Amino acid sequence: MKSVRFVAAVLFLVFALSASPVFAKDTIKIGAILGVTGPASFLGAPEAKTLEMLVEEINKKGGIKGKKIELIVKDSGASPEKAISFAKQLIEEDKVFAIIGPSTSGETMKIKNIAEEGKTILMSCAAAEAIVNPVAKYVFKTPQKDSYAVVKIFEQMKSMKLTKAGVLSSNSGFGNAGKGQIEKLAAEHGIQIVANEVYDKAATDLTAEVTKVKASGAEAIINWSIEPAQSIVIKNARQIGFKGPIFQSHGFGNIEYVKAAGDAAEGVIFPAGRLLVIDSLPKSNPQKAVLAKYKKDYEAKFKEDVSTFGGHAYDSLMILVKAIEKVGTDKEKVRTEIEHMKGFVGTGGIFNFSPEDHNGLAMDSFEMLTVKSGKFIVLQSSAKKKDAGTKKK
């Protein structure tokens, strides 16, 4: 009878799936919810690769205090509903020690409460200020604050005597957040927003959008996005003859975007973590060693350029590891330890946590970079630039 078959099929399926996984004793389970495929794949894929690489390396050396790390990566495809389902799964079923990720702010906000209620440490790789403001006990984030990036851009503009900004942001969470910060901070920094357009992150051509911005009399363009489409903005802006400087966000932190923009990327200015300009760091810079090793290992293993996005996952994991090494595997102790961690050298900067600051990075975690001959270099201060007589395109 059909209904009997139905019942039998259902029961069988549920029992089959109910089988608990074999418990490997004495491992530290760390879960990760990342957007490995889907609209956030340029975030999630490097993040997942970084985690796998690090966990393998740590386990080869015997793990943390003798316990190996068991990494469970779940691909949420940047869907909040999957993130919610995986979060509950990781916390309740797999009983993970901590969760790294998600890659996007939208997902993080959806599982912030779940992590709090489940008393599980969440090390987010997403950038929204709302993740750590208001502070939730168990939720931390490793990317730098958007507002710092915005302020650095404004300060650079002022030093170049520019006040009129044309803003283009992508319609992703990162783009929206940046746009919000720009709008909030413009007035107090003496910057006037003369154009403010949102473009589709999957757009194929943005000539009309940049035309509108150019027509508004903008002296500089601020292009806030984390997706490949930002390169199209740069190309189109130069093609229609926009001569002012183009500022990007720290979402430009991947050399692939420079390649995609070709010659047009020359002279673009943006704030970013120092991972991209390791060679120009003086030996005395505390981050140099950490960054150099990460870059070398990642590029050797995956044959692709390192990006600041993968770096957020690096920081998330290594902060956890350091805390566990210090106080052992008691969740509460580790949480408190992270909250009081100072001077942690990560890829994003030097972290100084506190109970009020669950992000730990300050404005100096950003360096102003520019693109020259298709490579990232540190932007020389404007005084020096004037002396060198370099022309801005």
Partner 1 sequence: MPLRKHFQIAALVAAVIAVQLAVTLSGNSHHLTQLTMSAYYSLVIVGLCLLIGYAGQISLGHAGFFAIGGYISGFLTTYNLLPYKDKAIVSIFAKTGLLVGRQDLYGGQALTFHPWTAGLIAVLATFVTALVIGGPVLKLKGHYLAMATLGFGIIVYRIVLGTEKLGAADGISDIPGFTLLPGLQVSGAAGLRIQNYYIAWGLVILSVTLLVNLVHSRIGRALRSIHGAEDAAQAMGIDTAGYKLKIFVLSAVLASIGGVFLTHYNGGIGPSEASIMKSVRYVAIVAIGGMANLWGALIMGFVLNFLSLRGYFGTYDDAVFGVILIVIMLFAPEGLITRSVFSNIRRLFGKAAPEAEV
Partner 2 sequence: MNTQLFFQYIVAGVTYGTIYAIVAIGFNIIYNATGIINFAQGEFVMLGGMIAASLSGFMPLPSAILAAVIITMIIGALIEMIFIRWLDRPSVLRLIIITIGISIIIREAALFIWGEGVKALPYFTGTSVTVISIGDVHLSPQVLWSTGISAIMVIGLNLFFNYTLPGRQMRACSSNRNAARLCGINTKNMVTLSFILSAGIGALGGCVVSPMTYVQYDSGTGLAIKGFTVAILGGLGNSMAAVAAGMLLGILESFSIWIMPTAYKDVISISILLGMLFIKPSGLFGSAEAARLKDF
> Footprint of partner 2 on this chain (CB under 8 A)?
36-37, 41-42, 45, 171, 197-200, 202, 204-205, 207-209, 211-212, 215, 228, 231-232, 235, 238-241, 256, 259-264, 304
Q: Choose among partner 1, partner 2, none what residue 2 binds, the Cβ cut-off being 5 to 8 Å by kind.
A: partner 1
Binding-residue pattern over the window 153 to 192 for partner 1, x denoting contact by CB under 8 A: ------------------xxx-xx----------------
Torsion of CA 6, 7, 12, 13, to 10 degrees: 60
| Residue among 207 and 382 whose Cβ is closer to partner 2 | 207
Judged by CB under 8 A, does residue 268 bind partner 1? no
| Residue among 35 and 346 whose Cβ is closer to partner 2 | 35
Cβ distance 71 to 52 under 8 Å? yes
Per DSSP, what are the bridge partners of residue 132?
Answer: none
Count of residues interacting with partner 1 (CB under 8 A): 52
| Residue among 38 and 94 whose Cβ is closer to partner 2 | 38
- What is the rounded distance in angstroms from the CA atom of residue 235 to the CA atom of residue 393? 13
- Residue from 145, 126, 115, 171 nearest 35 by CA: 126
Among 26, 93, 325, 356, binds partner 1 (CB under 8 A): 93
Judged by CB under 8 A, does residue 82 bind partner 1? yes
Q: Burial, 135: exposed, middle or buried (Cβ in 10 Å; 0-12, 13-18, 19+)?
A: middle
- What is the rounded distance in angstroms from the CA atom of residue 336 to the CA atom of residue 359? 14
Output the CA torsion sign for 172, 177, 178, 184: positive
Among 58, 78, 237, 324, binds partner 1 (CB under 8 A): 78
Residues 6+ apart with CB under 8 A from 262: 235
Question: Given the rule CB under 8 A, which of 3-11, 150-158, 293-301, 356-364 is the region that contacts partner 1?
Answer: 3-11
- What is the rounded distance in angstroms from the CA atom of residue 94 to the CA atom of residue 87? 10
Judged by CB under 8 A, does residue 284 bind partner 1? no
Q: Choose among partner 2, partner 1, none what residue 134 binds, the Cβ cut-off being 5 to 8 Å by kind.
A: partner 1
- What is the rounded distance in angstroms from the CA atom of residue 359 to the CA atom of residue 350? 11
Q: Choose among partner 2, partner 1, none what residue 276 binds, the Cβ cut-off being 5 to 8 Å by kind.
A: none
DSSP characters for 329-375? S-HHHHHHHHHT-EEEE-SS-EEE--SS-SS---GGG-EEEEEETTE
CB of residue 3 to partner 1, shortest distance in Å? 3
CB of residue 239 to partner 2, shortest distance in Å? 5
CB of residue 13 to partner 1, shortest distance in Å? 6
Q: Choose among partner 1, partner 2, none what residue 343 binds, the Cβ cut-off being 5 to 8 Å by kind.
A: none
- What is the rounded distance in angstroms from the CA atom of residue 213 to the CA atom of residue 333? 52
Q: Choose among partner 1, partner 2, none what residue 289 binds, the Cβ cut-off being 5 to 8 Å by kind.
A: none
Rounded CA Rg of the chain? 22
Residues 6+ apart with CB under 8 A from 37: 44, 45, 75, 77
Q: Choose among partner 2, partner 1, none what residue 264 binds, the Cβ cut-off being 5 to 8 Å by kind.
A: partner 2
Judged by CB under 8 A, does residue 13 bind partner 1? yes
CB of residue 269 to partner 1, shortest distance in Å? 25
| Residue among 89 and 207 whose Cβ is closer to partner 2 | 207
Residues 6+ apart with CB under 8 A from 104: 35, 40, 43, 78, 126, 172, 173, 174
CB of residue 165 to partner 1, shortest distance in Å? 19
CB of residue 215 to partner 1, shortest distance in Å? 22
- Residue from 128, 154, 133, 130 nearest 143 by CA: 128
Q: Choose among partner 2, partner 1, none what residue 231 binds, the Cβ cut-off being 5 to 8 Å by kind.
A: partner 2
Cβ distance 218 to 243 under 8 Å? no
Judged by CB under 8 A, does residue 288 bind partner 1? no
CB of residue 386 to partner 1, shortest distance in Å? 40
Residue spans of beta strands (DSSP E) within the chain: 27-34, 68-75, 98-100, 121-124, 139-141, 164-170, 192-199, 220-224, 246-248, 269-272, 342-345, 350-352, 367-372, 375-378
Binding site for partner 1 (CB under 8 A): 1-7, 9-11, 13-15, 17-18, 20, 36-37, 74-75, 77-82, 84-86, 88-89, 92-93, 104-107, 109-110, 112-114, 117-118, 128, 134, 171-173, 175-176, 198
